[in-house]
Structure 1
Amino acid sequence: MDEVLRNLKPVRPPRFASVRSIVALILREMSATYGRSPGGYIWAVLEPALGVALMAAIFSVGFRSPPLGTNFPIFYATGLLPFFLYINVSTAVAQAINQSRQLLNYPRVTFIDAILARFILATLTQLLVGYLLLTGILMVFETQTILNLPMILLAYSMAAVLALGVGLMNSVLMTRWAIWHTVWSVFNRPLVIVSNIIFLVDEIPEPFRSWLMWNPIVHIAGLMRHAFYYSYEAAYVDVMYVFLVALILGTIGLLFLRRYYRDFLEL
């Protein structure tokens, strides 16, 4: 009997099982999120486009020129697009466990697969939206901006990593306490005002400016603006601070999910 047991090989999951699971989940999310509504992906583009257009229309009435440059649409697009990426991606990650409860009962599907699938789909969608909207603005208007592509990608990376960290932490809180979804929504409502999007943080007097520096989105928006406006130095931007906040939140959220997500599914 001992010899038989020694000859038995451990059962290993098929290679690339997680990759196949993630791809399948992405296709499922695409169908569920965009395939059931008229227009599908078109609405994902129209939402930020209308947001930028509304901001530009409102502030062009009261101001001769935006805080940077001469073009309102590109100024607000550079602030709103990474902000929309953060909001949409963090929301998608936070709801991954709750919206994949039935799938997580399958042994081949892990909570990491569900989170990565929603994170990848939401991030790619927002990158496509940003590319289409910025390209359209640059083609239609004379923005007088000089693009720094590596810095643009860095700003988007900061927004995506921060969204993942916040989403992982919120996934724990929202799965454990349903009321946290409402609390977080209320907390996020004034975020666009205090995130260096509508007004530049440079124009805000102390001590309020120092307080706003604790908001990671302020640094993301500042770097994005620096990537388009060469003369805007944005010396306050701290890239490592954003990544550190994302790492701390993401690590805490991941540790709690790894330990308790099975218990959360039974709630």
Structure 2
Amino acid sequence: MKTIIKQFRVLRALIVRELMMRYGREGGGFAWVVIEPMLLCVGVTTVWMLLKPGYERGVVVAALVFTGYMPLTLWRHLTNPAVHMLRRNRHLFYHRSISTLDLFWSRQILEFTATTAAFLIVYVALRGLGLVEPIYNWSLCLMAWLIMAYIAGAASLIMAVVTENFEWSERIVQPFQYLVVPLSGVFFVVDWLPQGAQNIIWFNPLIHSYEMMRAGFIGPGLTTHWTWWYPILFSSILVFFGTAGITRARKRLIF
């Protein structure tokens, strides 16, 4: 029990430290943790609604954009800080109570909490304006959100390990992030693709989260293709190798 309390205090201290470093001590600065991802989604939704008609293949554009860009925002906010994350904070490892996983999880918790709050605020705003219908299945949307967080967290572990061990890898992370976007389901629904493309895209674990989110948000009016076990299995394999790699990195970093 004492160990759990100790680790909780370490995580809390690291989260507060991250907030102070990024936004200063002003209360308005803390608000940007939520406002930052919220503005991205609102901006993109507005542009899409101006360029597109009210519906895209029978789906409300606002619902399509919201269920695409909010999971994408979660993915980006969880994966972007992973590059050289350990190296930038190596001075903290001289404190024996702080582990590499403490540092990793504190950042993940902060970004997840902020993006989740942004999700709820944007949804309430869209609902209040009458641009989207009530969520059809909250539990399915929650499962999709958590699965996306798990996939992104697993990918972050791998990115953190790879960028610490291979200097050249930093240069390919950004192109990889750009390639992920058009293949992840942000702009399309799997059922809109030809059958051959559907069979191939199924192996992208991100697709399942987007499809599940849209199934829960829009309901049976949209045909979706997803499974819960594949992205969890895929991510668990990444977590296994990523955890092993990130825990070994500490010894090299403190010398």
Q: TM-score normalized by structure 2?
A: 0.89
Equivalent pair of 2:212/2:224 in contact (CA under 8 Å): no
Aligned to 1:106: 95
Which amino acid counterpart does residue 119 of structure 1 have in structure 2?
A: Q
Q: How far apart are the structure 1 equivalents of 2:7 and 2:120?
A: 29
Deviates more, 1:40-49 or 1:134-143: 40-49
Deviates more, 1:176-185 or 1:216-225: 176-185
Percent identity over paired residues:
20
Deviates more, 1:157-166 or 1:146-155: 146-155
Q: How far apart are the structure 1 equivalents of 2:221 and 2:163?
A: 39
Equivalent pair of 1:149/1:227 in contact (CA under 8 Å): yes
Which amino acid counterpart does residue 172 of structure 1 have in structure 2?
A: V
Aligned to 1:156: 145
Aligned pairs (5 A) from 1:159-198 = 159-198=148-187
Cα drift, residue 125 of structure 1? 0.7
Cα drift, residue 52 of structure 1? 2.4
Q: How far apart are the structure 2 equivalents of 1:68 and 1:114?
A: 45
Aligned to 2:74: 85
Which amino acid counterpart does residue 16 of structure 1 have in structure 2?
A: I
Mark the CA change 1:65 to 1:188 in structure 2 (over 3 Å): closer, same or farther: same
Aligned to 1:53: 46
> In structure 2, which of residues 236, 243, 249 is the aligned counterpart of residue 247 of structure 1?
236
Aligned pairs (5 A) from 1:220-235 = 220-232=209-221, 234-235=223-224
Cα drift, residue 265 of structure 1? 5.0
Equivalent pair of 1:146/1:228 in contact (CA under 8 Å): yes
Q: How far apart are the structure 1 equivalents of 2:50 and 2:94?
A: 49
Establish whether residue 69 from structure 1 lines up as the match of residue 59 from structure 2. yes
Larger radius of gyration: 1
Q: TM-score normalized by structure 1?
A: 0.85
Instruction: Calculate the aligned-residue CA RMSD, in Å.
Output: 2.3
Equivalent pair of 1:69/1:143 in contact (CA under 8 Å): no
Equivalent pair of 1:44/1:129 in contact (CA under 8 Å): yes
SS of structure 1 residue aligned to 2:59: coil
Cα drift, residue 74 of structure 1? 2.1
SS of structure 1 residue aligned to 2:56: coil
Equivalent pair of 1:83/1:217 in contact (CA under 8 Å): no
Cα drift, residue 87 of structure 1? 1.8
Q: How far apart are the structure 2 equivalents of 1:125 and 1:260?
A: 28
Q: How far apart are the structure 1 equivalents of 2:4 and 2:134?
A: 48
Aligned to 1:200: 189
Cα drift, residue 223 of structure 1? 0.5
SS of structure 2 residue aligned to 1:102: helix
Equivalent pair of 2:94/2:254 in contact (CA under 8 Å): no
Equivalent pair of 1:67/1:200 in contact (CA under 8 Å): no
Q: How far apart are the structure 2 equivalents of 1:152 and 1:133?
A: 15
Gaps of 5+ in 2: none
Aligned residue pairs, count: 250
Cα drift, residue 175 of structure 1? 1.2
Q: Which has the higher helix share?
A: 2
